[in-house]
Amino acid sequence: MKNALVAKILYEVADLLELEGVPFKPRAYRRAARAIEDCPTPIEDLAAEGRLTEIAGVGEAIAQKVAEIVATGKLAYHEELKAKLPVELRALTQVEGIGPKTARLLYEELGIRNLADLERAAAEGRIRSVKGLGEKTEQKIRRGLAETRGAEKRLLLGRAWPLARHLVEQLMATGLYRHVEPAGSLRRGKETVGDLDLLAVSDRPDEAMRAFCSLPDVAEVLAQGPKRSSIRLSDGFQVDLRLVPANAFGAALQYFTGSKEHNIRLRERAAARGWKLSEYGLTSADGEVLAGEDEAGIYRALGLAYIPPELREDRGEIAASEAGTLPELVDARRVRCDLHVHTDSSDGEATLLAMARAAAERGLRAIAITDHLRFAQAIPGLSADDLRRQIEEVRRRNETAGLTLLTGVEANIARDGTVDVPRDLLKDLDLVIASVHTHLRLGRKEMTDRLLRAVEDEGVDILGHPTGRLIGERPPCEADWDEVFRRAAKTGTALEVNAHPQRLDLGAELIRRAIGFGARLAIGTDAHDVGHLDFLEFGVITARRGWATAEHILNTLPVEDLLAARKRGR
């Protein structure tokens, strides 16, 4: 999949055009880049089929440029723009505190071209000397650098899974493999993935490895052997393939799924019985193979119930498995409602009808239309009158939408914790989501008080993307989360598991704490286009990592029961 590469180039074109003062075009390129980045279909497939203009925001002109990137790996127009400002603009602007204009200023004043230059300048205290920046900006850039370096070369869960599926499909299509499975941190559902591990069984290993190393998107073959090969894709992401015997596939899948800490506990358990556990199988002291063909057999032989991959982090799962108290994790098939969907009435890309039809095609039984209420000049949102009209449209469309449409809204939580929802419309709204979008760097006490006031608002059903984090770009806000969860459980306010790959908010650890206090969860994709509806599975994976069952999640209920279970339905 070349989606990440295409998006990266288009984002940088937008930044470079913005620096030149070109109007309108930067927004168009960013819109196209965002849509391509979020698109679950390989961009090269859409290009080959002549379907690029089906992507929101991709017109004929941008489609031609996308096709050029797909074919050549670069864009002549991009190279022309870069020649005027020879810096790694996209890398620099990922650092908090640096936008395109600041990047240009740093280049002109300090000669900063890349992250290494930026790190040296920050360490030497030279950034504060630039007119218009100062010590506070330098400190912010230092924090941003640490966050950016931590996320560098890691792929978001929601980008890694489509890539893994695409690679598996390509390999299986060769006819050289019995089966291929992703392993590693991806299979455990971690929010970011450092590289991609694939395990496979093949009766023709030499041909299978040649096929892997010859995949269309391979930029470099790092290693090629009869049992293991490594490649680097055009976007810089590394993929490793291991071929294992069929009778040891389960043992290998368990071993290479990890985590390291979980595997250590299992090996200790095997050693206590005089056995040995490795990627080749579970063997007795005299070499007899006790298990290895499937994962469940490994756990069963060790006296354990099967532990789902999402829980294998050495956080009490082995003790729970032994005691028979592992939770029955929520299954994606149980989550058939999306409780956070935007349309082009606010900042979405598709119409209400298009979102409804796309949701119905995916087998969803309900979606909540939750466009933004207007709260900032720069962010499109609904006025009270707009919201009234949308409520009427939702009710009208319900007759022909093919699923249940819920009336809703996403309102901003102001700095003082107030939620500006027209109170006379609460009776007509099925769901009210309240989210923090501004002032995310408040102190712990002020942010806690702010969130508690929103949670206690009788008109708020769901606290949206509670921590406000953007993975790899913005850390979570600081708050007394135990107190927020305690109060949410008491008031009946649900906590969102925002399924957008860049958010996954709440994250797994906070989900587990929240349900420990008895709080309910609501999974929403925060979809701004039809393709974003596919993010629902990543919300489910994250909920599973937080030990959530179907009973913890509003979306698993029939619509009538869901409405009765929300705060205002009690």
CA distance 197 to 229: 10
Cis status, amide bond into 452, omega within 30 of 0: no
Confidence of residue 101 (pLDDT cuts 50, 70, 90): confident
- For 390-447, write each residue's pLDDT tens digit: 999 999 999 888 899 999 999 999 999 999 899 999 999 999 999 999 888 899 999 9
Q: What is the pLDDT of residue 98?
A: 83
pLDDT tier, 274 (very low <50, low <70, confident <90, very high otherwise): very high
Lowest mean pLDDT among 116-130, 279-293, 357-371, 495-509: 116-130
Q: What are the residues whose beta carbons fall under 8 Å from the beta carbon of 561, sequence distance 6 or more? A: none
> Tens digit of pLDDT for each residue in 182-204?
999 999 999 999 899 999 999 99
DSSP 434-479: EE--S-TT--HHHHHHHHHHHHT-TT--EEESTT--BTTTBPPPP-
> 264 pLDDT band (50/70/90 cuts)?
very high
What confidence score (pLDDT) does residue 301 get?
96
Q: What percent of the chain has pLDDT over 70?
A: 98
Structure confidence at residue 507 (pLDDT): 96
Give 219's contacts (C-beta < 8 A, 6+ positions apart).
73, 231, 232, 233, 234, 236
Cβ density class 35-64: b for 16+ within 10 Å, e for less: bbbbbbbbbbebbeeeebeebbbbeeebbe
Give bridge partners of residue 223 from the DSSP assignment.
230
Residue 328 three-state SS: coil
Q: How confident is the model at residue 281 (pLDDT cuts 50, 70, 90)?
A: very high
- Would you place residue 369 in the very low, low, confident or very high pLDDT band (cuts 50, 70, 90)? very high
**Local structure of 309: helix, strand or coil:** helix
With the C-alpha atoms ordered 524, 526, 527, 532, is the resulting torsion angle positive or negative? negative
Least confident of 31-45, 153-167, 216-230, 243-257: 31-45
d(CA 564, CA 359): 23
Specify whether the CB–CB gap between 374 and 436 falls below 8 A. no
Q: Who's near 535: CB < 8 A, 6+ residues apart?
A: 158, 499, 500, 501, 525, 526, 527
Res. 266: pLDDT tops 80: yes
- Per DSSP bridges, beta strands 521-524 and 494-498 are parallel
Could you tell me the two tokens for 33?
A: 């880049």
| Distance between CA atoms of residues 235 and 182, nearest Å | 19
Residue 559 pLDDT grade (very low, low, confident, very high; cuts 50, 70, 90): very high
Q: Which segment, 20-29, 128-137, 231-240, 309-318, is predicted with the most confidence on average?
A: 309-318
Q: Which of 163, 171, 165, 169 is nearest to 202 (CA)?
A: 171
Domains parsed from the chain with CATH numbers = 3-151 (1.10.150.110), 155-243 (3.30.460.10), 256-323 (3.30.210.10), 332-569 (3.20.20.140)
> pLDDT tens across 205-255, in order?
999 999 999 998 898 999 999 999 999 998 788 999 999 999 999 999 999
Q: To which H or E segment does residue 269 belong?
A: helix 260-272
Element (H, E) at 523: strand 521-524
Q: What are the pLDDT digits (tens) for 294-347?
A: 999 999 999 999 999 999 999 999 999 999 999 999 999 999 999 999 999 998
Q: What pLDDT was estimated at residue 122?
A: 86
Name residue 8's amino acid.
Answer: K
pLDDT interval class at 27 (50, 70, 90): confident
Separation in Å, CA 336 to CA 361, 370, 546: 12, 17, 19
351, 344 Cβ separation under 8 angstroms:
yes
Model pLDDT, residue 100? 81
- The pLDDT value recorded for residue 377 is 54
Residue 556 amino acid letter: T
Q: Which residues are CB-neighbours of 284 under 8 A, at least 6 positions away?
A: 274, 275, 290
The answer, yes or no, to whether residue 570 has pLDDT greater than 60, is no
Between 474 and 364, whose confidence is greater?
364
Q: What mean pLDDT do residues 254-276 have?
A: 96
Instruction: Give the CA distances from residue 363 to residues 55, 212, 356, 359, in Å, rounded to whole numbers and listed in that order.
Output: 21, 34, 11, 7
Residue 443 burial (C-beta neighbours within 10 Å; 0-12, 13-18, 19+): exposed
pLDDT attached to residue 526? 96
Q: What is the DSSP letter of 203?
A: S
39 or 504, greater pLDDT: 504
pLDDT for residue 493: 97
Cα(484)–Cα(213) distance, integer angstroms: 50
User: According to the model, what pLDDT value does residue 217 have?
Assistant: 87
How high is the pLDDT of residue 412? 94
Measure the N-to-C terminal CA separation of the chain; round to a whole number of Å.
47
Peptide bond into 230 cis (omega under 30): no
Q: Whole-angstrom Cα distance, residue 325 to residue 545?
A: 16
Average pLDDT, rounded, for the chain: 91
Q: Which of 173-187, 217-231, 377-391, 517-531 has the lowest mean pLDDT?
A: 377-391
